[in-house]
Every structure is written in C-alpha cells, then in structure tokens.
Amino acid sequence: MNTETGEFDAWLRRLKWALSALPAQDQNDIVAEARAHLRDALDTGRTAEQVLAGFGSAEDYAQQFVDQMELSGALGAGRSGPMLRVVLHRVHRSLIAATAAAVVLTCVLLAVTGASLMYFELSDPLRTGLWSGGGNLFVGLIDDPSKAVDLLGIWLLPAALGAVVVPLLIVRLVLVWAVRRLARNR
C-alpha cells in the first residue's frame, strides 16, 4: 500500500503543478477530489498502475480543468480580447477555433483596408475612390483622376466606414459563437 500511495502522491503532485494556472482553492479541490477517486478505484481491487492508467497523465487530466476555467472566464468577461485569446490558444486543436481564427483574420484585414480608405479619402479626396476606366475596376488612389470615373464619389467615406464597422461586428459574433461552441464541446 505504501508504494501505491507513493505513486499516487507523485501523480497528485504533478496534477497540482499542472493546475497552477487555477486559483489555489480550485487546485486544492480538484486534487482532493482526484485523490478520493484514486482511492475509491484502488478499493475495487485494481493495482495503482491500472488506476493511474485509467486517469491518464496528470497533465492531460489537469488540462480539461484549465481549459474549462479559461473558457468560462472568457465567456464571463464578455470582451473580445479574452475570447480571441481562447480561440487562438486552441487553433491547433480545434476546427472550430481554426475556422473562427480565419474569419477573424479576414475581417480584420477588411477593417484595416476600410480604415486606410477612410484615411486616404480624408487626406486626398480627389485621387481616392472606386475607379472604373480602361477596362479596370479598382479602389484606392489613382495618379490621374481624368483617366477614370469615380463610381462612389462622396459615398466612398460611408462605404469605407461600413467596411470597418461590419467586419468588426462579424468578428465579435464569430468569437462569441466559437467560444460557446468550444465550451459546449468540452
């Protein structure tokens, strides 16, 4: 029994270390519950090795608690920053997180493009626009405005503002959706 207790104690020490991201009270509660489960499993007649094999590594066992705390914290905070952090931490482990990260990146690029257009429209309104001429259609700055027609004119500024606001709203919705799905799949 002493050898078994030693094996359990070593596993529980590694568990506590792996739970270091959690508050001390949560760490103690999880370790105490795991200790009780280990002893209950040992009382069924299994060996310490069999019991520990059923639990897996202490680090893997702890990761589920750390993940749950991180997901709950991000949802509870309700801010995009913590939700983005949760999604980015799981990009390599989850298709949901990878998809959300791709959508977020695309939307951020669109928002930056819209912000750039707003800047250029305010700083050089005569050469900035949605241009059509010579079989080409493009948005941005043109060297010679007489060679093309500005299709949006003054409406480029509200369109560019929309190109900033709409993608950022989409980012927010995608992050909330992704974190909720990740929490539900836990």
pLDDT of the residue at 4: 60
- Nearest alpha carbon to residue 156 among 102, 104, 106, 120: 120
**Distance of alpha carbon 18 from the chain centroid:** 21
- Nearest alpha carbon to residue 94 among 181, 10, 160: 181
Q: What is the pLDDT of residues 151-171, one digit of tens each?
A: 999 999 999 999 999 999 999
Count the neighbouring beta carbons within 10 Å of the beta carbon of residue 110.
17
pLDDT of the residue at 1: 44
Indicate the DSSP class of residue 145: G
Low-confidence ranges of the chain (pLDDT < 50): 1
pLDDT of the residue at 181: 94
Domain assignment present for residue 10? The answer is yes
Domain assignment present for residue 147? The answer is yes
Asked whether residue 61 falls in the same domain as residue 118, the answer is no
Asked whether residue 48 falls in the same domain as residue 98, the answer is no
Q: What are the DSSP calls for 54-82, one per residue?
A: HH--HHHHHHHHHHHHHHHHHHHH--HHH
β 149-150/136-141 pair status: unpaired
> How far is CA 150 from each of CA 38, 155, 161, rounded to the nearest angstrom?
73, 10, 18
Element (H, E) at 49: helix 48-55
Domain assignment present for residue 85? The answer is no
Domain edge (last residue) among 47, 77, 107? 77
Query: Taking the C-alpha atoms of 100, 115, 157 and 103 in order, what is their torsion angle to the nearest 10 degrees?
Result: -10
pLDDT of the residue at 3: 57
Range of the domain at 27: 1-77
Q: What total number of domains does the chain contain?
A: 2
Asked whether residue 100 falls in the same domain as residue 58, the answer is no
